[in-house]
Amino acid sequence: MKLLVGIPALNEERTILGVIKNIPKNIPGVKKIDIVVVDDGSTDKTSQVVSEKGVLVLKHIIRRGLGGALKTIIAYAQNHDYDLLVTLDADGQHDPKELPKLTEAVIEKRKDVVIGTRWKKAKNPYSRYIINQLANILTYLIFGIWSSDSQSGFRAFSKRAIIKLKIQTDGMEVSSEFFKEIYQHKLKYAEVPIKAIYSDYSKSKGQQISEAPKVFFQLFFRLLR
């Protein structure tokens, strides 16, 4: 199988090389591993430091948002006939060494979408927990799929899922939109527990509790279309 590891990044020159370095070189069931970084309009040296290491960078001249970056990653996977796709954050919150846990669920258990859940292994910042639980509830009410971590950025997709994904949103609500895709296309879904690495830096990234009303508004009105 041919795997693409896609990393959306915005001003992550401090952490992204560490993420790339820790992506396993050998994964059971995977013959070829490629990496693509989508630089979503960074103003720092994210693209430069990644390119210097020989990793492919697709750069957005104008910032499009997390959903926009993920759409570019998915389109690349679709256009280059990948059998597997894994996405993870560039801020060091996810441990790339856990990547085989997600791909195993796709390959061995024949799942189409696998989410790495942060809430089954260790305690995490309370504000993140509140945002996540509210998003989990809203996602369940709209799509009827329960997830303990609907906002996790550590995901794996089968070839069937890659082909069918048609993400529309550009913002943070994209994390819940994946469940719309799971529901509409009857994709097989699973979760695997992962650990979250919360530094002061990574806690400053991602969804903040002050942004929750905006995210939920966008989620409710855009995803029901």
pTM of the model: 0.87
Q: What are phi and psi of 175, to 5 degrees?
A: -60, -40
CA distances from 203 to 14, 90, 174, 199 (A): 14, 13, 20, 6
3-class DSSP assignment, residue 88: coil
Domain ranges of the chain: 2-222
Rounded (10°) angle between helices 66-79 and 174-185: 40
Nearest one of 64, 84, 24 to 169, comparing CA atoms: 64
pLDDT at site 32: 98
pLDDT at site 211: 57
pLDDT at site 144: 86
How do strand 113-117 and strand 189-193 relate by DSSP bridges? parallel
| 37 strand-pairing partners | 7, 57
Nearest one of 138, 107, 105 to 215, comparing CA atoms: 138
User: What would the pLDDT profile of 124-179 be if each residue is shown by its tens digit?
Assistant: 555 567 777 888 888 888 888 989 999 999 999 999 999 999 999 998 889 989 99
- Tens digit of each residue's pLDDT, the chain (225 residues): 999 999 999 999 999 999 999 999 999 999 999 999 999 999 999 999 999 999 999 999 999 999 999 999 999 999 999 999 999 999 999 999 999 999 999 999 999 999 999 875 555 555 567 777 888 888 888 888 989 999 999 999 999 999 999 999 998 889 989 999 999 999 999 999 998 886 555 555 655 545 556 656 666 555 555
Residue position matching structure tokens 């097989």: 188
Query: What superfamily does domain 2-222 belong to in CATH?
Result: Spore Coat Polysaccharide Biosynthesis Protein SpsA; Chain A (3.90.550.10)
3-class DSSP assignment, residue 200: helix
pLDDT at site 220: 57
| 203 strand-pairing partners | none
**Residue 104 burial (CB count, 10 A):** 17
